[in-house]
Structure formats: structure tokens, C-alpha cells
Structure 1
């Protein structure tokens, strides 16, 4: 209900809200900020290219700008912009009150904002990443990054890790919501196209971004432990550079479709509305999207045609690359044929969609050239790739801008100025083509370099003029939307004819509770059960209620400070420690007022070390990971003297404790999340939201461990399976004892059994034994870590098997270390469960025993992972 939230004019509302519509608006506004940020960097690139050679930027400065522009646009603008609309509209389209986990939704946004700010601050830490947005190895290693850029480059890497954490939380939330909370009678195949596109997108995000997280964590390991010698994981002679390329593009190619799929959903919605008819071949359109989503994970090697991969494998990848274009042909023809069969109304949203289709066709055709091995040898690393890439990616952005005009009246209740909207489209379309089409003509210009042949000057200057026009068009958009917000052009439910999805059946903007009753599609069209209407009847899909009342059922309390506290703690600590020198002090002071006293104590400390500084950076990715790296790196000593060491330690400890405290506080907070009542739940009937969410999270974690284990296997096979240990022996390890791993196997299996017993006694209502077996599980984790710690200490000090002693050592410490982090996280959750169980939370009549069951799923997964690690690292 509305009285659960402060008014929208209050800053507090936007800090504490968990309402999906508010979070959607925050995503849209924040992503538009990063659009401006990335756009300014893009204009700097075009100014630099006005003439061949340095104009306004140095070599390092140009590399920073090119890298940051690519990362900001791909990560911090395109996908979050789409998911701003997804947050706002998907619950409305499927008839849900909110997303399944409102607080996790808020946490996802604050992590997204934190990651973007951390990346922005990296500019002021000497330099941000200068590697290109693909971060190719070995250029991403400290040995190949100028010393002035190392701190900022590492902060940029960690910003990516935080962003992936945000994406994972959002993916779990959307998948659970869309499978469990659709309104009664709304079959999955009848879900609106935009929501279908989001469903397929989050499936791709769940697996692709977790692979990127694995790559980023491996890279972080190299930055922390490999130092500046170029050794470590991706600096290894055992295929380290090629390994990075595999990991990155296994994420990178699905990312193209992750960006474009929401735009496809927008295209489908807008074409239907403004042509006045249902999408031709809708079923096949959806099937084609699903095929692309699956195929996107088996074409990544076409980005690697210039590597040493053998020709037969490259040929297979070429065939799959060309094959993936066929479903897109079907989708584009379906959109075009729908326009032909309908009666088109040339409004601003439709113009942007039509422009996006034209741009995508050109981008797709030029991409086929890159899919051919022979042609790729000529085009790779040139401006042909730059032009193709932007015609594909920016066509999605153009469609999403059309979506913003389309849903702007729904979100704000105001109508934009149609004339200014068309001016925006005309300027953007002309400017875009002036900017990027000349790049096909001067395709021989080297990518990521500002020197080119004198004969190309005219075309590069034409592109720069196009960039100015393209950028100026967005000033028209910002003025139009801002002025319209304060205009008197009010709308009712919908300013458009022929809308068919549920968001248009309620007032604009929608009420706090979304619907005036329980939505139901059981009769084949939308009805509101147990809710008032203006005429006492049922609300229909083609109009709804002009002044929709708020939902009559009890609403969730949408006020929660914990997501903000949790994410701010990580961000403030990370940024604070990163700016410990005199020259950087102002930035943590501005961004991290609560830690002001700690910063004063660290004012004169050195930033030259890699140890605790980088461990504290990882607070932005999560307090437990920081705790692990803190303990893991103590043996290196502390840079900057003993006073600095103590400062580092205590500030790190404060960050960890406060982060854990926020989690605990959130756990004890009373919060009512919306539960599905009359809803379609195929194929997960009988599965609770939390259990499904845990399954989805574990699926992503499988990919994370798969990236680590796959990297180990890749490097070992390239080094030679038997020769692997010969290399290890040459680095000081005489034997690799089996018994520590075997003992830990028995410990973890026993701890899984005690979790099962704790659940059984919780269901029986036996408090004492529930607490007792949870405690035994915790002690099992303690025993595991002690045994593992003894083993690590012996290897490190006795055998001098250091973290950077070679690929065998790196893979062993990092993969088993990742598993140990999961054990630590599980133990902290166990402490919370024990405390709650002791207070009667899980044993009274067994009503809440499912909480222990959900934890058990995680703990069993951690144990199963060890069953794979034990033979790989101790026996084979």
C-alpha cells in the first residue's frame, strides 16, 4: 500500500524502496547517466581521430578512453537500460504484485550502481584499464600495464566482478518470478513478447556472466599474486593467453544477444501496436529466439580464428556462426511482414524500431563477412569490426530508445512531445550512419589506434561530424522527456490504440499495488478478481480502469535500508582503501563520509603494495571473499610499515564485520514478500520461490566452478597430463599427499549427513537436536578448514610451492581456495541458522524447517564440488 513508502519527492523513498517500479526507474536513470559518461568518452575518441596522430590524448589516455567507452556502453548502459524496463514492466505484464525477491532486487540495483561508481573512480587511481574492452591476456596482467595504471586497472577489474554479482542476483530473481508468479491462466507461450525476451535473456545472463566472473577472479589472482613479472595464471606458457580468450568469448558472444534480445521484445511489442495486428508467426518468432539463445554458447570461437586452434574446429565454428543468422532472418521477416499486413501509424516509437531494423540488417550482413575464416583474416582488428559491432549493438540501443518513448506515458502518466520525438529520431538516424558507415569505407584503419593513412582523413572527419549530430540528438530527447514530465499532457491508461498486454489495463502511472485486484487470464482475457471497477464489472484488457484503485490485499512492506547499507559498506570500504595516498584522498572523502576517521589514519600510507589493499578492494564483491583473501595473504607481510599494516588490517576488519552485520540484520528483519496465490507455475508447481531461487543460483555456481575446473584441465592438457606434475616437482613439490584430501572428503560427507538430520529433527519439532546437528555441521566446516589450512601452510613454507610457482600451484591454490570460500560462506550462514534455531525459528511444529532445507541444498552442492576436486588435484 502507498503508505508503506515515503512520497516520490522524498530522497529517502529512492534509498529504501524495494518496489519493482521504483527500482526500474532507478535503473533507467542510472543507465542514462552511464550513457552520457560513455558518450563523452566516445566523442573524445572522435576528436582524437579528426587527424591522424595524437590530438588531445596521449597513448595511455587514448587506450583508457577506448577501453572505458566499450566497457561502460556494453556493461553499464545497454543491459541495465533494458532491465530498467524489465523491472518496471515484467511484473505488470505477467500479473504479479512484484518480483519474487524485492530486497534482492534492490540489492542488485545498488551493486550495479556501486560497480559503476567504482569503475568511474578507477580513472583517479592513476589510470583505469588501458587494455581494450576485451581485456586480452597478457595485456591485462600487471607486467603489461604501466605502473601508474595498476591500481586503477585492478579497481576496474573488480568493478566487473561487482557488476556480475548484480547480474546474478537479478537473473535469479527474474527467473523465479516468471516461472512462479504469472497470473492464473497466463501460459508461458502467451506471455507478452517483451517478457519472453527478458526470460531468454536472463537464462543467457545466468550462465554467460558467471563464466566472466570465473575469468575475472582468475585475473584478480594474477594481479594479487603474480606481481609484475608476467607469470601467474594468464601469463603462463601453458596457454594462459588462449585460455583467457576462451573464457572471455564464451561470455562475450552470448553478451551480444543478451544486449539485443530485450530490443527484439521491444520491436515485437511496438510493431504489433503500431501496425494494429498480432505479430505474424509469433510462435516461430519465439522458437527462433530460443534457438539463438542456445546457439549463442557454441559459436564463441569465431572470435578466435586468428589463434592456433586447428582448422577443422574453426570450420565447425564458421558453420555454426553462419547458421545462427538463420533464426534472425525469420524474426526480421516476421516483423517486416507484420508491418506490411497491418496499417502502420508513424509515431516516434515505431520510427525508432524501424530504424533499428534497418541498422541491424546492415550489421548482420557485414557480420557474415567476419564469420568466414578467410575474410576474417583480413578484417580482424580493423574498423570493419568496429562498424559491424556498432551497427549490431547500437541497433539494439535504438530499439530500446523507441521502447522508452513507447512506455514513457505509462511510467510517468505524461505524453511526450511527438514533434521533438521525431526530430530526435531523424537526427539520431542521420548522425549514426554518418558516424559508422564511413568506417566500412576506411576499414583498413587499425582498431584501437589513432594513426591512419592520410587518404582516410575525410572519412574520419565525416564520422566525427556524425558523432556530434548523434550525440546532440540525445540532448533533444533529454529536453523532451524532462519538459514533458512537467507538462499538462496527462494520459489515462494508454495513449496508444491496439495495445494488448496487461500493463495498459491499469492507470498511468500504475498504482503501488499494480492491479485493482488479483489478475486472472482464466477466461482468455484479463480480469481482476476481488477488485473494484468503475462500473462494478470486470476490467478488460482493452482499457482497464481509468482511475485504478490500489490493491485490496495486504501489500509487502517495501521499505528496507539493508540493501543500501550492505552495498554501501562494500563500496565505501573499497573506494576508501584505494585512495589512501595524499593525491587520492579527496575521492574517498567525498564518496565515503562514514569512513572519514579511518581515512585520516591512513592518509600517509603507501599504495605500492598488492596484498591487503587488493583484498580490501574485493569488499565491493562481497565481505566473505575479502575475508578469505585477507587471511590468504597475511604471509606476504604488510606494505608501508607496521602502522600502515595495522591500518589496513583494522579498516578491512571493520568492512568485513559491518558487511556481515548488514547481512545478519537483513536476516532478522521482518519483511513480507509477495507470494503467488492464483498463479501459473508450470513447470515448477509445488516448488517454493526460495527453493527455485536456490536451484537457479546453484546452476550459476556450477558454471563458475566449471570455469575454474575447465581452466585447470585446459592448462594441464596443453602442458601434458603426466608432465604437469614434473613441472610442479621442478618448482619444489616432491610429493602430493592424498590423505589430506581424503580426510576432507570424509569430513564433508559427514557434514552433509548432519544437515539432513538437522532438517529431519526440525520437521519433528525437536529444538535441541536441530541445534545440535546444525552445530555439528558447523564443526565439520571448521575441521575441513583447519585440515586445508595445515595442508596449504605445509606446501607453501615446507615445499616452497608458492602461489605463482607455476600453473600447477596456481590452479591448485585458486580452485581449492574458491571452494574454501564457499565453505566459509556456508559456515557463516550456519551460525545464523543456529542462533535462529535456538530462538525457536525452525523447530516450532516444524513450520519453518524449509529454511534449513534451502541451506542444505547449498551445503550439499559444496560437498559435491569437492568430490570432483579431490580426484583432480590429489589422485589423477
Structure 2
């Protein structure tokens, strides 16, 4: 119940909350904390580069600082900072009371926090990862980063990707199924549009990174040879393909939320709609699609043939064209508008100027010939920061823009403008000299003495940027206590839905159900009949600018309170933290200390306890009875969430299977020595799994009939068949072990064990779910009145079976 949520003054509130606004605040504050850590590392790097040669940091410490700075900024600051605003604002903008799955939203945050803590712990385990933020092979394997901390950093990143996957599914379901009545897709505000496209890119891009991290983790923990056996067609080129299939969409994943903020603030402070709104949205969609077609321009220096490089050059230059349309739309909106130079607008304008310079310098890198000259130099460093950190400039504007809504207080405008001025000057003083000193090699503290002055200017700029953030922190902190009341809408021309309610908004956002059915924002009061004169409902209509009129609608819908508190997400996050910390102590099958075994055991036990509690908890997150669902009107929100998760999992398996095809083709398809040599066990297992899919169908039919005995029998048969599959696989593996074939034996064995092992892990998860469901059916007659959970389990199980249908011929017949 809503009353179960402790007050904001309580620490317990922030440990158990699932409310989207609280999670948004947690994301924002945590992201700023990681910005502080990454910023300190950046200052250490700039101090080191004051003069060429080793300085305050050793060579290893410098590499660790460069690597961790990049990882923190790209993964733990930029995207989560934007997701903080997305958590807070998106449900408000689309008229929802919360995200579709509030507990999963909290789970996503705690995964994010604990993943960052894992990265921090890695420094105390013999040193963190020092292979650069791109983690290029073979620098990422134990031969070059042998420390336990290097493995912990990889596992921390893996946990972060799990956080992203959970959050992505949540936002996709919310935006596609949680929009208020009358809000079609073309009516969605720009910021929500940017988040929608961002999470669509995340769904597939981070799945590719997850596949890469799983393979790298197996190399480090088990001792497989994916990125070690460079003569096998794998190694560095395989990592580059997997990483950059994620890495280039990541540029737009980072920039799109900032772009959405720019569109929102330009509309608000120019007093008019963005020029060419529909064309701008189409341009954003085109960029999101194209982002997956240009990854190889990061690999122009590899052995890829010139024809493919030329094609990638064309697609790279082509992706700049939709951005040209968006930039001109922003400029023309200013030309036609009545500009108010408030702090949020200044940051958005600054972001536009910085991005233009970053985009122009990026075109140089898109040309094959010029890339040969610039790659691996500080030209890339400067371009990268003008695009990525330049985009983040708009996110600082978002902090000022929505600060009045979040806190109910106004910030100090003079200090805000002073922050922008010092930041903008410091930014250009920091990064523009790097274009001039472009011949400096990346990630190396030795450079030509002719560039000393330029690097010293950059170091001064770094401290100016750091000082600007002290102004921001002082401004926002003091304004929280002494700022003027902001009112519901402090901006003259803000018209999105979040400005039509109180500042800060109430717990459940709306006084009833939000609706745009009449063409303007209306709040349909829900509750017991009799509230209106004819026993129906009353409707409060806001014009988006603070004025409110009252109407009446003879309609009634059931009112159900939403729960906002659960202790299980934080416990699950802590359990995975312990589990991954325990796994980090395993090195090529050897354990680095008994403490890691203890941590792993504790983590697994806590995870089991927490997941059972999560599954048994009665948690209510009702969906509005009336709303826009296109294009998924006939699909329930949980079923849609399962679809999105499985779509992501398709990419994970696609990456792992693609690695097998890539390595085998590199070695020569027919020269491949298959493991295992006998196809019979695989054939038997194929029949076993296909039969188990049939028993799942029987389980759904029994649940539909309300037959407890039939449901238990069918699920029991599925369990038995799944255990049979795993038993045959265990026998098969033990047979290979007895003949001296281990994951470390050769690349063929590594690929076989990892690919079939990942599938087997999916089978184990499915069996655990089936066992949990069977216990609930036996003890509480669950799923007989509502058989949808059985259907959702069936979708997952059928997916696992389909994957095996692909694996069987690849490993047993070819």
C-alpha cells in the first residue's frame, strides 16, 4: 500500500522505495557521485600531462586512471544521469502514475549502484583494469591484466549491463503501453521520444556488449581462449567487432537524451514549437537505425578489406545528414522565437555549439585516409569529448530545468549563469588545445615537448571545469533550503504535462487518471460512484500553463492503490554484488583465496532467499484501464516485457554464436575439430527439449481448464525433461573431461563449452522458475484463475528450446 512507504526523511525510504520519482533522484545523485570520482581521475591525468614523462602516477597507475575514468564517465555517469531525469519525468510527461514495473525499476537502480561499487573495489584487489575503456584484446586477458581487480571491473560492467537491460525493458513497456488516453505516438513530448529511441538502441546494443563481456569473463575466470588465441581468427578483431557493434550506438545512446533536453528547453525558452517537429522525430528514428550500421569505421586500421571500409565510410558520413536537419531545426526555432536566456537554455545552447564542433571533427575520422592519420591521437580524444561531454552539457541544463519541479524551489539564476560561463570557458580551454596538439598519442604520458604549452592550457581548463561544478553544487544545495518557491510552472512557455501539477508532484502524480481525449490535459477523478452529480466521475482540465477548469464525465473505473515499497530489490542487488565479488577470485579455474569461495556462497544463498521473497511478495502496480497502447493494444504489459527481454537475449546468443562462426571461418571451416565428435547425445537432447516444449503447452491448457492436477503433472514433466537434458549434457561434458578436453584445451573446446554452457544456464534458470511455480501451485492453488504466468514461462522455455535447435547442427552436425 502507498502508506507503507516511509517518509523522505527516513533512510529506510530510500532503501525500499520503488516510486519512479524517488528512483530518479537516486539515479541523479549517484550519477553525480560517479562524475566526482571520474573527475578526480581526470584531474590526476591532466596533472600527469603537465609535462611529458612519468609524474605523480606510475605507468600502471596512469593506465588504471585512464581506463577507469573512461569507464566511469561513459557507463556510470553519462547514461545513468540521463536515466535519472527519464525516471522522474517520463511517466509525468505521458500521464502515467509510475513505470510499468516499479520493483524492476528499483532493481535496475540497485544493480547500477552495486556495479559501480564493484568497479571501486577493484582498485583494492591488486589493481583495477588498465586496458583502456574500450578494453581492447588481448590487453584485457589475464596475461596482460592478471590482477583480481581486473576481473572485478569486468564483472562490475557485466552487472551494469544487467541493470541497463532491466531498465530498458521497463521504459519500453511504459512508453508503449502507459500513455494517457489521447496521447498518440506523434503527441509524445520530445524528451520522452528521445528516451524511447535511446532505450530501443540500448536493448540491442548492450546485449552485444553483454555477449562480449560473457566471453571475456570466461577467458578470465575459466581460462577459455576467445581473446587469447589470436592466430585462430579470434582475438583482437573479434573483440573489436563485438565491442563496436555496441560502442557506436552508445554514442547516440548517450547523446539522444541530451538532444531531447535541448528540444524541450528550446521550445520553452524560445516560446514556440520546434520547427519541423515530425521531420525531426523521423530524423531521430533514422539515426537510431543507422547507428547499428557504422561500427566498422572504428576499425579502419584493421585488416578488413578496402571495399567494406569504403562502405562504412559512406554510412558514417550519411549518418551526419539527419543530424544536420536537427541542428537547423534548433537554429531556425531560435530565429523565429522570443529567446529567454535562462540557465537551462544557456546550457542547451552551449551543448549545440559544442556538438557542432564535435560533429565536424568527427567527419574527419569518418574518412578512411584521414582516419589512418588521426586514429590513436589526441584528435580522437578531443572529438570524443566534444560529442560525449558536450552532449552532457545539455543534461546539466536539464538539472536546472527540472530542479524547480523536483524540489519546489528556484535555484539562484545568477549563480546558474556563472556556472555556465565558467564551465563553457573551461570546457573549450580544456579540449580545444588537444586538437592543436593532436599528434600526442592516446593513453600515453610521453609526448613531444613542442606541445607542452597546449597541454598545460588543457590542464588549467580542467581545473576551471572542476571549479564550475563547485558553483553548481553550492547553488543547488543552498537553493534547496533558501530558494524561492517555484510554483507549479516557473517557465512562461513550458507546456508538457509535468508542469500542470504540484511541485514537487504528489506520490501518485495525478488526482485520478490523466487524459488527452478532449484535446487538452484532463484529470479524471476515479473512486467510488457518487462523487459526481449523476454518480459518475468529475474531470479537472489543465491547459498546461497552470490554469484549471472543471468538467464532468459520466464514467466510472475501479480505483486501486499502487504499492511503492519493497525491500527485495536492494537485497537482490547486494546478493549479486557478493556473488560477483566471489567470482572475481577465480582465475583460469584456480581460486585466489578461500574468502572468494565464502563470498560466492553467501551471495548465492542471499540471491536465492531474496528472489523467492521477490516472487512471493504481493505487490500492486495497476495499469490504467484506459490509455494508448499502440502498437501493442492486444498484448499485456508483462507479456510485452517478456517479449522485449527475449529480443535482447536473441542478440546475446547472436553475439556468442556469431563469435563461433567468426572464429571457425577464420581458422577454416572444414579444418575445425568438432567438440564433441559424437552427435548422438545432442540428437537425444534435441528430442528431449522439443518434448518439454509440448509439456509446457499442456501445462497452459491445464491452467486454462483450472486443473490443478494437470498443471502440476505437466510442469513436473517439464522439470523431469529439463533435468534429463542437463544430465545428458553433464555426462557428455564428463566424457570430454575424461579424455583430456577442457575449456582451456583449445579454441574449439572453449567455444563448445561456453556456448552450450550459456544455453545450459538458461535451462537451469527455467527449471528454477518451474520449481518455484510448482511449489506455489501445490501450496496455494496459484495460476488456476490467472494462467498468464504459465504462458510467460512458456515463452521463455520455447525460446530456450529454439536456441538449442540452432546449436545442435552447429556443434554436432557441421
With the length of structure 1 as denominator, give the TM-score of the two structures: 0.89
Alignment partner, residue 581 of structure 1: none
Matched, 1:48 2:48: yes
The secondary structure found in structure 2 opposite 1:280 is: coil
Change (3 A) 1:172 1:529: same
The secondary structure found in structure 2 opposite 1:409 is: helix
Alignment partner, residue 630 of structure 1: none
Alignment partner, residue 118 of structure 1: 118
Shift of 1:60: 0.2
1:463 pairs, out of 458, 461, 469, with 458
Alignment partner, residue 90 of structure 1: 90
2:565 pairs, out of 535, 559, 565, with 559
Matched, 1:568 2:516: no
1:820 pairs, out of 746, 760, 783, with 760
With the length of structure 2 as denominator, give the TM-score of the two structures: 0.96
Q: Deviations over 1:336-374 (max 9, x none)?
A: 100110110000000000000000000000000000000
Distance between the aligned counterparts of 1:391 and 1:206, measured in 2?
Answer: 26
1:690 pairs, out of 618, 623, 638, with 638
Q: How does 1:325-364 map to 2 (within 5 A)?
A: 325-364=320-359
The secondary structure found in structure 2 opposite 1:96 is: coil
Shift of 1:797: 1.6
Shift of 1:553: 3.9
Alignment partner, residue 622 of structure 1: none
Q: How does 1:281-300 map to 2 (within 5 A)?
A: 281-300=276-295
Distance between the aligned counterparts of 2:800 and 2:603, measured in 1?
Answer: 26
Q: Deviations over 1:707-743 (max 9, x none)?
A: 0000000011111110112xx6xxxx7x710110000
Q: Deviations over 1:484-535 (max 9, x none)?
A: 00014111111001111100000100000101121000111111112699xx
Alignment partner, residue 671 of structure 1: 619
Shift of 1:841: 3.8
Matched, 1:207 2:145: no
Distance between the aligned counterparts of 1:187 and 1:166, measured in 2?
Answer: 29
* 8 A Cα contact 1:749 1:863, kept in partner: yes
* 8 A Cα contact 1:299 1:321, kept in partner: yes
The secondary structure found in structure 2 opposite 1:142 is: coil
Change (3 A) 1:651 1:393: closer
Matched, 1:238 2:232: yes
* 8 A Cα contact 1:281 1:334, kept in partner: yes
The secondary structure found in structure 1 opposite 2:372 is: helix
Task: Calculate the aligned-residue CA RMSD, in Å.
Answer: 1.9
Distance between the aligned counterparts of 1:648 and 1:73, measured in 2?
Answer: 29
Q: How does 1:261-280 map to 2 (within 5 A)?
A: 261-280=256-275
The secondary structure found in structure 1 opposite 2:232 is: coil
Shift of 1:650: 5.5
Shift of 1:276: 0.2
Matched, 1:780 2:721: yes
Distance between the aligned counterparts of 1:18 and 1:234, measured in 2?
Answer: 43
Alignment partner, residue 553 of structure 2: none
Change (3 A) 1:370 1:115: same
Shift of 1:838: 1.3
Alignment partner, residue 702 of structure 1: 650
Shift of 1:238: 1.7
Matched, 1:744 2:680: no
Alignment partner, residue 626 of structure 1: none
Matched, 1:225 2:222: yes
Alignment partner, residue 18 of structure 2: 18
- Equivalenced residues, count: 798
Q: How does 1:856-867 map to 2 (within 5 A)?
A: 856-867=794-805
Alignment partner, residue 610 of structure 1: 587
Matched, 1:832 2:809: no
Matched, 1:127 2:68: no
Shift of 1:573: 4.6
Moved more, 198-207 or 735-744: 735-744
Change (3 A) 1:35 1:546: farther
1:409 pairs, out of 394, 404, 409, with 404
Distance between the aligned counterparts of 1:122 and 1:323, measured in 2?
Answer: 41
Distance between the aligned counterparts of 1:498 and 1:639, measured in 2?
Answer: 61
* 8 A Cα contact 2:170 2:641, kept in partner: yes
Distance between the aligned counterparts of 2:425 and 2:732, measured in 1?
Answer: 64
Distance between the aligned counterparts of 2:226 and 2:39, measured in 1?
Answer: 36
Distance between the aligned counterparts of 1:873 and 1:545, measured in 2?
Answer: 67
* 8 A Cα contact 1:127 1:151, kept in partner: yes
Shift of 1:780: 0.7
Change (3 A) 1:358 1:552: farther
Q: Deviations over 1:555-612 (max 9, x none)?
A: 211110000111112213544786xxxxxxxxxxxxxxxxxxxxxxxxxxxx6x626x
Q: Deviations over 1:448-483 (max 9, x none)?
A: 001111111111000000001011000000000000
| Runs (5+) with no aligned partner, structure 1 | 579-606, 612-632
Q: How does 1:576-595 map to 2 (within 5 A)?
A: none
Matched, 1:804 2:798: no
Alignment partner, residue 438 of structure 1: 433
Distance between the aligned counterparts of 2:69 and 2:438, measured in 1?
Answer: 20
Alignment partner, residue 731 of structure 2: 790
Alignment partner, residue 182 of structure 2: 185
Distance between the aligned counterparts of 1:232 and 1:105, measured in 2?
Answer: 34
Change (3 A) 1:547 1:124: farther
Shift of 1:32: 0.2
Alignment partner, residue 449 of structure 2: 454
